[in-house]
Amino acid sequence: MRPVEPLPLHHSWPLSALHEHLAPVALDPSLARNDVALAERGLGLWHCDLLDNNRISWTAGVYDLFGLDRDMRIVPRDLSVSLYASESRDPMERLRVYAIRHRRGFTLDVDINQADGGGRCAMRLVAAPVLDKAGDVIALHGVKQLLPHGTPGSRRLDPTIFVML
């Protein structure tokens, strides 16, 4: 779903709903553990460690979405954020802060300006906080899905729009 104000009301969801938002990947364990299969479907998993200076980890599909070389092991968060189209960056950042503060997940459709000059692509971002035993948010993680032009808005991953690359 494209940004709709107020953002938390339209894009945020409780952590208890995480499984339903990740269902297409979670329902097929072989897909969730197969980096190549995910990338072929326009999907990628990501993790941002808040305790380690926002260190980002991506699977191959996310590198492809952002138009970055898969061999680039360390992606500075400021580089990845700079690739979000200006109209997508602010809503994404606001929902990120809300997710951390309120321990909630979010889903947002955004536009990415690919670093390799591939142009602009649409992406569904599904994000959820990772909590430690004390209930503090220590990381964010989730899935990024390439969206074909004209894809209707949704609050979860859509298995009917997997893009075979």
Q: Looking at the 3D structure of the chain, how many domains does it have?
A: 1
- Structural domain contains residue 1: no
140 to 3, 64, 96, 116: CA distances (angstroms): 20, 20, 9, 26
pTM of the model: 0.88
Upstream peptide bond of 148 is cis (omega within 30 degrees of 0): no
Cβ atoms < 10 Å from Cβ of 118: 13
Q: What are the average pLDDT values for consecutive 10-residue runs of the chain, which has 165 residues?
A: 82 89 67 82 93 95 96 92 96 97 95 95 94 97 86 60 49
- Structural domain contains residue 87: yes
Domain span including residue 124: 7-161
In this structure, what CATH number is given to the domain that contains residue 12? 3.30.450.20
- Structural domain contains residue 2: no
Residue range 33-68, pLDDT digits in tens: 788 888 888 899 999 999 999 999 999 999 999 999
